[in-house]
Chains A and B, each alone.
Chain A
Amino acid sequence: MGQPLSKRERLSMIHVEGLTKRYGPSTAIDDISFHINRGEVVGLLGPNGAGKTTTMKILTCFISATAGKASINGHDTFDQPLQVKEQIGYLPESCPLYHDMDVATYLAFSAEVRGVASHKRKGAVSKVISDCDLGKVTNKLIGHLSKGYRQRVGLAQAMIHDPAVLILDEPTSGLDPNQIRDILSLINNLGQEKTVIHSTHILSEVEATSDRVLIINNGHIVAQGTPKELMSRSSGTTVYVTVKGSDVQSQLAAAAFVNKAEKLADAKDGFVRLAVQGADQRDVSLDLFKLAVEKDWLVSELKAETASLEDVFAKLTRGQA
């Protein structure tokens, strides 16, 4: 409280240090620290109940942390909530909106309350209406809109005051694939000039949009890095091979390009199915094929599978929940 900010706090857009939130006896997030630079798009990833929403609620000053601190653009969320709220646009998890208002009225209300100067309000409203493609529903009641449109209205109100930081809690939940693609491309566009933190449990979304990923599980950050970095932490490429020959497994295990060869099952007619991981995590299917030719094995399946973020995610979050 009240202490001058460290250099890092001033430089990063979102700075979180030792953040802990307890609800009675249960701990939602436990000693979380991270920082997000200006203009970064960061995906907050984790299973349901991991603490993503709690983190976002603290960042938006809706609730306070039990311990630790968070600041946005140098303003502490506990001491200077008004300044923090002015910097952010927020889309809460279930996209709550006033169903008895029409879209234009609601956006005008948001602009007013978010402090857009009165002579700029009309412009701000029509800008987000075109950015979020709401032209067709401007005069409809929000309660009558489809889920996809509501989500876009939610995004529109978050962007209306041109905030430096956007905090989006599961912006794509409950949408169909086309709508998801629309929202993701919108987030990509926003990421050109704004700091965006968005949460999801769909990994392909993060791969598509985010510069960096924070994986949260059970209230702890279990991994962070670019999607690429995270994927390299996995087992790399696995080659699945079904072969028939003598003493296949031990010969494979002995080969120089193989890191690990694991027998999965006995297939029929004397074939065996193996999962082979190459040395230095590369794809070894070609080497495998050459070896099989050399040893005169019969091959009925040869398939390389690159580990996705899903695998990393599963590895990091399984068994602890």
Chain B
Amino acid sequence: MNHVSSIFKKELRSYFSSPIGFVFIIFYLLVSNAFFFFVQDFFRQGQVTMRGYFAAMPWVFLFFVPAITMRLWAEEKKMGTVELLLTMPMKEWEIVVGKFLAAFAFLAITLAFSLTIPASLMYLGKPDIGVIVGSYVGALFLGSAYLAIGLYISSLTENQVVAFIISLAAIFVLLLIGIAPVWLNALGSIVSVCEYVSLLSHFNNVTRGVIDSRDVVYYASVIALFLYLNIKNIEARKWR
């Protein structure tokens, strides 16, 4: 476990070792708040709820999370530091989990800055705190699933831009199959499979503030699957 925390500290530090981490956070806040207050017109709605904020989250994260994960492996490969990293006495899973947790922490820090919104809501009226807390937890699950996918894809390339675009595309597909299957109705049961696989359909409950164990199991499975693939992909260099 010590190694996990060493990697965690190294990666988290590197998010803030340049202005990029801060720029990222500010940009996220600008976009998500603009979306919430202006596009969704919070002030005319007359309700102290963050439902709209969280409903937009799968789409906002679609662009932001791949930006968090794109460098995690691609940069190590490009710079060659992966060779030193993998010849240090650590197990592959320790490195993968350390990187994942660092990306998670960065996402959580970013989200923490958005707590000004619930604070404002509490000033304006009486929001349902339970719903908001539930939604935040759900958003972290959703974000973590994105992170696991993005981290895995970053390990497939040494080009950060490629990692970003492919992660975005992969997540996009996993979102779309939750809403697109209208034309798939003809195929019957495939629709329910698509809906189950989609990252989006599991988030609907979350925006209502409901944490359903089925959704938790789903997100946990996605995270576990992609971390597993990631570990295997890092080990693959030694297969013979």
Chain A contact residues, CB within 8 Å of chain B: 57, 60-66, 78, 81-82, 85-86, 88, 90, 92-94, 96-101, 105, 109-110, 112-115, 157
8 A Cβ contacts from B11-62 to A: 13-14, 17-18
A131 to chain B, nearest CB (A): 19
B220 located at the interface, meaning its Cβ lies under 8 Å from any Cβ of chain A in the complex: no
A-B pairs with CB below 8 Å: how many?
74
Contact with A along B139-156 (1 / 0, CB 8 A): 000000000000000000
Of B81-89, B106-114, B116-124, B202-210, the segment with at least 4 beta carbons within 8 Å of chain A is: B81-89
Cβ-defined contact, B89 with A82, below 8 A:
yes
Cβ-defined contact, B89 with A114, below 8 A:
yes
Most chain B CB within 10 A, of A57, A64, A66, A81, is at A81
* Chain B residues, Cβ within 8 Å of A57: 83
Q: Give complex CA distance A57, B87 in Å.
A: 9
Cβ-defined contact, B87 with A90, below 8 A:
yes
Please name the residue on chain A nearest to B9 by beta carbon. Answer: A109
Cβ-defined contact, B6 with A112, below 8 A:
yes
Q: Give complex CA distance A105, B10 in Å.
A: 9
Contact with A along B77-100 (1 / 0, CB 8 A): 001111110111111000000000
Given A64-B240, A112-B6: A96 in contact with B88 (beta carbons within 8 A)? no
Cβ-defined contact, A109 with B87, below 8 A:
no
B17 to chain A, nearest CB (A): 5
Please name the residue on chain A nearest to B82 by beta carbon. Answer: A96
Cβ-defined contact, B81 with A113, below 8 A:
no
Known: A96-B79, A96-B84. 16 other contacts (CB 8 A): A61-B86, A61-B238, A62-B86, A82-B90, A82-B91, A86-B89, A88-B87, A92-B87, A96-B81, A97-B79, A97-B84, A100-B14, A100-B17, A101-B10, A109-B6, A114-B89
* Chain B residues, Cβ within 8 Å of A78: 238
Given A98-B14, A101-B17, A109-B10: A64 in contact with B239 (beta carbons within 8 A)? yes
Q: Give complex CA distance A94, B17 in Å.
A: 23
B126 located at the interface, meaning its Cβ lies under 8 Å from any Cβ of chain A in the complex: no
* Chain B residues, Cβ within 8 Å of A109: 6, 9-10
* Chain B residues, Cβ within 8 Å of A110: 88
Please name the residue on chain B nearest to A167 by beta carbon. Answer: B87
Cβ-defined contact, B79 with A99, below 8 A:
yes
Q: Give complex CA distance A78, B90 in Å.
A: 14
A177 to chain B, nearest CB (A): 25
Most chain A CB within 10 A, of B83, B86, B87, B90, is at B87
Cβ-defined contact, B238 with A113, below 8 A:
no
Please name the residue on chain A nearest to B14 by beta carbon. Answer: A100
Across the A-B interface, give the 4 residue pairs with the lowest CB-CB distance, nearest first: A96-B80, A85-B89, A64-B238, A60-B87
Please name the residue on chain B nearest to A92 by beta carbon. Answer: B83
* Chain B residues, Cβ within 8 Å of A64: 237-240
Cβ-defined contact, A85 with B80, below 8 A:
no
Cβ-defined contact, A113 with B90, below 8 A:
yes
* Chain A residues, Cβ within 8 Å of B9: 109
A152 to chain B, nearest CB (A): 15
Given A64-B238, A101-B17: A113 in contact with B80 (beta carbons within 8 A)? no
State which of A86, A88, A90, A113 has its C-beta within 8 Å of the C-beta of B3. Answer: A113
Q: Give complex CA distance A85, B85 in Å.
A: 11
* Chain B residues, Cβ within 8 Å of A63: 237-238
B240 to chain A, nearest CB (A): 5
Please name the residue on chain A nearest to B238 by beta carbon. Answer: A64
Cβ-defined contact, A85 with B83, below 8 A:
no
- A sample of 6 cross-chain residue pairs with beta-carbon separation below 8 angstroms, ordered by A number, consists of A60-B87, A64-B238, A64-B239, A85-B90, A92-B84, A109-B9
Please name the residue on chain B nearest to A98 by beta carbon. Answer: B81
* Chain B residues, Cβ within 8 Å of A61: 86-87, 238
Please name the residue on chain A nearest to B85 by beta carbon. Answer: A113
Contact with A along B202-240 (1 / 0, CB 8 A): 000000000000000000000000000000000001111
A314 to chain B, nearest CB (A): 31
Q: Give complex CA distance A99, B76 in Å.
A: 11
Please name the residue on chain B nearest to A118 by beta carbon. Answer: B2
* Chain A residues, Cβ within 8 Å of B87: 60-62, 85, 88, 90, 92
